[in-house]
Amino acid sequence: MTTTPMDGGQALIRALENEGVDLLFGLPGGAILPVYDPLIDSSIRHVLVRHEQGAGHMASGYAHAAGRPGVMMVTSGPGATNAVTALCDAHLDSVPLVCITGQVPLAAIGTDAFQECDTTGITMSVTKHNFLVTEAQDIPRVVKEAFHIATTGRPGPVLVDIPKDIVDPNSPRSAMEWSDEIEMDLPGYDPNVEVDPAAIAAAADLMRAAERPVLYVGGGILKARAAEVLYQLAEMTGIHVVTTLMARGAFPDSHDLCLGMPGMHGNFTAVTAMQEADLLVVLGARFDDRVTGRLDGFAPGARVVHVDIDSAELGKVRRADVAIQGDCRVAIEALIAELQANGLGDADRGAWRSRISGWQERFPLAYEAWEPGQALKPQYVIERLRDLSPDDTIVVSGVGQHQMWASQYWRFDHPYTWINSGGLGTMGYSIPAAIGAKAGMPDRTVWAVDGDGCFQMTAQELVTATVEGFPIKVALFNNSYLGMVRQWQEMFYEERYSEVFLSKDVPDYKMWAQSMGCEAMRVDDPDEIDAAITKANEIDDRPVVIDFRVMAEEKVYPMVPAGATNSDLVVPPSQADLSR
Amino acid sequence: MNVAGPDYRYHTLVVTVENKSGVLARVAGLFARRGFNIESLAVAPTDDDRFSRLTIVVDLESAPLEQVVKQLDKLVNVVEIRELHPGSAVERELMIVTVEAEPDRRDELVEQLDRAGGKVLSVGADRMMLSLVGPPKRIDEFEDLLRPFGIVELQRTGRVALPVLDEDA
């Protein structure tokens, strides 16, 4: 076995290259300095961010869009703590991400040294796993293990903390021998699971017998690259599909069997079909509280088939009649084969189909028409963005009302075209994540749908977008409020508005965007919407920001109030008197 | 995966982990953030120095055993988890205790100690230090027995456990 002498910093960069890393989002600092030097000679492109949280969300957007792990690199102390929000975000949404952090030299660990923090301790609960590397010789193995853990099983973020002296060529501790033969040493980690054929047969039996079945589809479908087999399963069985906030696009919205998004702001038919179902076939979803509403009233008559790669999700929230641990693609393929072999059954679903189409007719997504003198209708802006942008546009959302409207009113017909912060609900996610998505899919149009509260949290990454050449487009839904909180205060706190008003005119978003190198527009009049969007879609040499002045009073409907069951879904006022 | 019947409040898990720094923190942190309660915990290296063994007694009022086991199993450093059902495991615990032992009560104390199978570790003017190894229930009983003498200080290790051997083992 031949080995090459090198220092730990060189070994780290080489190990990243070995993993196929082409892009690295990061920001250097004292402890990580020695790794930034060999980076100059590497084929890896580094994107210099303006805040480490941005690097994390960029890595996440990249991973979602491109289907490859996102990689970030930051320094010790504040560099690492600034990354924590992005790590937690990726953890809750199962995004494969590898984060390299600098650390103070080994001898300084535990002494409260300058820019020292207990990075592995702090990030233990927000990563799938983390490592503190103490020997330069271990760097290639740990990097390999980190990518393996991040991308297999249920994906997630993995952090590798690197003390400065094992990568600094001036330190004797950095000397190591590179070998191309790298053996992982993970005796407690085995992501391979075999799907149990008996469970598949039991699931198929339930599907054959069900008169009111629903496929409840979550983000796991996208992680498993299973959208195509899901399509096959739905077409073959004729069972309707709901796609959760993390799974929008996993099944085409324009398909007759697609009922859209379930949950707190799901559409009436998706929510009600789950409530009335006699069978939920749950594929890569986890009964999140935003989907179930009050748990004891959720889908009371439904039996449950639950497929998840993470066995801890099976039975965690809702007992499954048939629990199947496994990769969604493998499990769906097995289900399809079983149903092909043993038939689809002859359950009569005619009545169920007509109930569903009745709900769809009576309770479509709806908002009141714009009237002269009003600010823009945010739902209408989404509809125009949708209709004037390419079919395969990637939409990357922040968190709040605009996120829900984007999820509701866009028409997602392709997987990996919708990226958002579902689990953690991280305001400020959209701009950096959109940059990451554009970096991963440079030929695609990428629209960030953002709110004014969100925009002010991470807007500085538009500087990164301009300087590094990522021409994303930002639709800023500016209602001068923290809109979702305002909605709750209006509906549940007797219109007592507490600390939700931002400011009508400060900052001037157009000037701010221009100062960051963006093309910027402001739209107040519905007649100007189309021209602004068309112009934005034609610009491809710099980022664009459109400041849409939207109505503050507009609310997201339907809505399941906190603590209510999904049967108590509040519909828009125009549908309130219709019989359900 | 076997799960104890509802009549058992406590359940013992014998968990083999990689012998690496921070592993105990990962296990303790998992229990804390998921709201699982630990009744007792004993940690020591195994005969293979790559691994340590944790004996964790879990309070099943706080969480179903199945969730505890599955979440523990997700920790990358956890290599193996064995569930020991109460009644099919040999459990032992060590107690050392300092008690008030005026000369006139000392015979009585030693007699109790002998009956329980304990040992005298140290003798002072008015106090004695004793030790007892046994099943946790017997340690509890002996502790109650000592209470009237006056317990000055008491330390228990938490239990360690292994499964009862099959006849043909």
pLDDT (0 to 100) of residue B168? 73
CB A311 within 8 A of CB A199: no
CB A155 within 8 A of CB A95: yes
- Tell me which residue of A398, A316, A310, A395 sits closest to A89, measured CA to CA: A398
Residue B143, CA distances (Å) to A99, A429, B56, B112, B120 in order = 51, 58, 22, 11, 15
Catalytic residue check, A535 = no
pLDDT (0 to 100) of residue A167? 98
pLDDT (0 to 100) of residue B7? 55
pLDDT (0 to 100) of residue A134? 98
Catalytic residue check, A114 = yes
Distance of CA A415 to the CA centre of its chain: 12
- CB atoms A312 and B73 under 8 Å: yes
Chain B residue with Cα closest to A153: B74
d(CA A170, CA A174): 8
Strands A23-27 and A3-7: unpaired
Sign (positive/negative) of CA torsion A538, A544, A548, A552?
A: positive
- Chain A: which residues have CB within 8 Å of chain B? 120-121, 124-125, 128-129, 132, 149, 186-189, 310-312, 315-316
- CB atoms A129 and B17 under 8 Å: no
Q: Give the active site residue among A484, A516, A521, A559.
A: A484
Chain B residue with Cα closest to A146: B76
A189: which chain B residues are within 8 Å (Cβ-Cβ)? Answer: 76
B75: which chain A residues are within 8 Å (Cβ-Cβ)? Answer: 188
Chain B residue with Cα closest to A154: B74
- CB atoms B77 and A120 under 8 Å: no
Domains of chain B listed by start with CATH number? 10-86 (3.30.70.260), 90-163 (3.30.70.1150)
Q: Is B112 on the interface with A (CB under 8 A)?
A: no
Phi and psi of A396, rounded to 5°? Answer: -125, 120
B25: which chain A residues are within 8 Å (Cβ-Cβ)? Answer: 121, 124
- CB atoms B26 and A124 under 8 Å: yes
- CB atoms B74 and A187 under 8 Å: no
Domains of chain A listed by start with CATH number? 3-179 (3.40.50.970), 197-362 (3.40.50.1220), 378-549 (3.40.50.970)
Option in B33, B70, B78 nearest A125 (CB): B33
- CB atoms B21 and A132 under 8 Å: yes
Catalytic residue check, A287 = no
Strands (E), chain B: 10-18, 37-45, 51-59, 78-84, 89-100, 119-123, 127-134, 151-156, 160-163
**Alpha-carbon Rg for chain A in angstroms:** 25
Between chain A and chain B, the number of residue pairs with CB atoms below 8 A apart is 38
What are A446's strand-pairing partners?
A394
- Tell me which residue of A458, A447, A472 sits closest to A541, measured CA to CA: A472
- CB atoms A312 and B75 under 8 Å: no
Q: What interface predicted TM-score (ipTM) does this complex get?
A: 0.91
Which pLDDT tens digits describe chain A residue by residue (580 residues)?
789 999 999 999 999 999 999 999 999 999 999 999 999 999 999 999 999 999 999 999 999 999 999 999 999 999 999 999 999 999 999 999 999 999 999 999 999 999 999 999 999 999 999 999 999 999 999 999 999 999 999 999 999 999 999 999 999 999 999 999 999 999 999 999 999 999 999 999 999 999 999 999 999 999 999 999 999 999 999 999 999 999 999 999 999 999 999 999 999 999 999 999 999 999 999 999 999 999 999 999 999 999 999 999 999 999 999 999 999 999 999 999 999 999 999 999 999 999 999 999 999 999 999 999 999 999 999 999 999 999 999 999 999 999 999 999 999 999 999 999 999 999 999 999 999 999 999 999 999 999 999 999 999 999 999 999 999 999 999 999 999 999 999 999 999 999 999 998 899 999 999 999 999 999 999 999 999 999 999 999 999 999 999 999 999 999 999 999 999 999 999 999 998 8
Lookup: tokens for A79: 């560099």
Residue of A516 and B64 predicted with greater confidence: A516
B26: which chain A residues are within 8 Å (Cβ-Cβ)? Answer: 124
A-proximal residues of B, 56-95, CB under 8 Å: 66-67, 70-71, 73-80
CA distance, residue A132 to nearest chain B CA (Å): 9
Catalytic residue check, A484 = yes
Mean pLDDT, chain B, whole residue set: 91
HSE-CB of A204 using CA atoms within 13 angstroms: 23
Q: Is B49 on the interface with A (CB under 8 A)?
A: no
Q: What is the H or E stretch that residue A386 is in?
A: helix A378-388
Q: What 3-state class would DSSP assign to A330?
A: helix
Decide: residue B147, CB within 10 A, 0-12 exposed, 13-18 middle, 19+ buried.
Answer: exposed
Q: Is B48 on the interface with A (CB under 8 A)?
A: no
Chain B residue with Cα closest to A312: B70
Band the pLDDT of B3: cuts 50, 70, 90.
Answer: very low
Lookup: tokens for B101: 């032992």
**Terminal Cα distance for chain A, rounded:** 72
pLDDT (0 to 100) of residue A422? 98
B29: which chain A residues are within 8 Å (Cβ-Cβ)? Answer: 124-125
Report the 10 Å Cβ neighbour count for B153: 10
Distance of CA A119 to the CA centre of its chain: 24
pLDDT, tens only, A208-257: 999 999 999 999 999 999 999 999 999 999 999 999 999 999 999 999 99
pLDDT (0 to 100) of residue B80? 96
- CB atoms A188 and B76 under 8 Å: yes
